[in-house]
Amino acid sequence: MAQETDTPAWKASLLEGITAFPHVYTIVTCADTTHDLSPVFEADKDAYYARQVQEYCEHIQSSLHAKASIFHEEVQTLRDENRDLKKEVATLNKVIDRVGAPKHTDGQLLRRQTRDHPTFNATEKDIEKRQEEYVGWRSKAMRNLAVDKTIYNTEFRRLQYIGSMLDGGAYTLVRQSLDAITMNPDDTELWEWKTADDLIEFLNGQYETIDLDRTASRNFDNYFMTNKPFENFIAEFNKLATLAGKNAPLVVHWHLTNTQNAWLSRPFLHRASWPPSGYYRRIESCWELWSGGIDKTQASFMVQVASVVIR
């Protein structure tokens, strides 16, 4: 280890005279010891010259201090930015851990099997029509989630998908809560809905408020063939029966109690139980023949035959 050289007398004397200027003091401490600068600080030799040197040292000290302050502020700014970036990286890492990376096979990323349907905006003024729109929208949204479950593989993604399929007033209703979920993907305690099913249940309470089955049942009970072509009538009839949740025996019951078709019930007036479900298809066939021009008596006879077959 090299020996430390002694501080020359001139340098020690010089340092004693500039202790009020720490920056200059540091510079002189590191200065070349072979050059004797002490004479310029000896005030008794030339007071005017010494004062000039003193003022110059003050200027150097002030300039160095200002520059050091600027550097300090820049360093602090960079440290703050670095800290913020670290926080952002940590947040993004948590999001990645939470939502998961899409799995792929043979180098190909998974793709959705479904496509987005129109959004639900709740602009329909008629409550019944709006509910019908909502129920249809919900069915499609839930089917997409089920089919593409490898894509929407977390509750965060499922909630975001449902939110993306809302628009207008329907989206406004849930926007703030969805924003909270978006901004806090890793803190479910701040989520109003923990799962997609919770969000759907909330929407059900807003837009599924009437008994559509009762309405459909009423429409079914009040539906008559009148002068409609049979093909149009039976298609609408079957649709109404499905919407009303009518199974085959209930459809047969409609046939047997409908006043316009009461003649069809004659073979069953004295039966102890309702006819089996197969009778509905026989009635449909006879009805089609009748609407196509077959004599009513002939159609009735065919029903009589059907009643014998199903006993």
What pTM did the predictor assign? 0.43
Decide if 246 is inside a domain. yes
pLDDT for 231 equals 60
The answer to whether residues 118 and 165 touch, using CB atoms and an 8 Å cutoff, is: no
One domain for residues 243 and 198: no
One domain for residues 167 and 191: yes
Decide if 243 is inside a domain. yes
CA distance linking residue 69 with residue 57, whole number of Å: 18
pLDDT for 272 equals 42
What is the DSSP code string of the chain?
-PPPPPPPHHHHHHHHHTTT-HHHHHHHHTS-TTS--GGGG-TTT-HHHHHHHHHHHHHHHHHHHHHHHHHHHHHHHHHHHHHHHHHHHHHHHHHHHHH-PPPEETTEE---SS-PPPPB-----SHHHHHHHHHHHHHHHHHHHHHTTTTS-SHHHHHHHHHHTB-HHHHHHHHHHHHHHHH-TT-GGG-S-SSHHHHHHHHHHHH--S-HHHHHHHHHHT---TT--HHHHHHHHHHHHHHTT--HHHHHHHHHH-GGGGGGGGGGTT-SSPPPTHHHHHHHHHHHHHHTT--HHHHHHHHHHHHHHT-
Q: Give residue-wise pLDDT tens across range 215-224.
A: 655 555 555 5
Flag residues of the chain having pLDDT under 70: 1-8, 10, 13-14, 17, 30-50, 52-53, 97-109, 211-311
One domain for residues 218 and 196: no
Decide if 94 is inside a domain. no
Query: How many domains does the chain fold into?
Result: 3
One domain for residues 188 and 247: no
Query: Structural domain of residue 145, as residue ranges?
Result: 127-207
The residue out of 207, 223, 246 marking a domain boundary is 207
Decide if 241 is inside a domain. yes
One domain for residues 136 and 185: yes
One domain for residues 234 and 169: no
Tokens of residue 254, six digits: 């409609």
Decide if 88 is inside a domain. no
One domain for residues 258 and 195: no
One domain for residues 168 and 217: no
Decide if 95 is inside a domain. no
The residue out of 146, 174, 207 marking a domain boundary is 207
One domain for residues 21 and 73: yes
pLDDT for 268 equals 43
Decide if 1 is inside a domain. no
One domain for residues 221 and 141: no
One domain for residues 285 and 255: yes
The answer to whether residues 98 and 92 touch, using CB atoms and an 8 Å cutoff, is: no
pLDDT for 202 equals 92
Decide if 287 is inside a domain. yes
One domain for residues 70 and 17: yes
Task: From residue 121, give the alpha-carbon distance in Å to each of 125, 140, 164, 170.
Answer: 11, 15, 11, 5
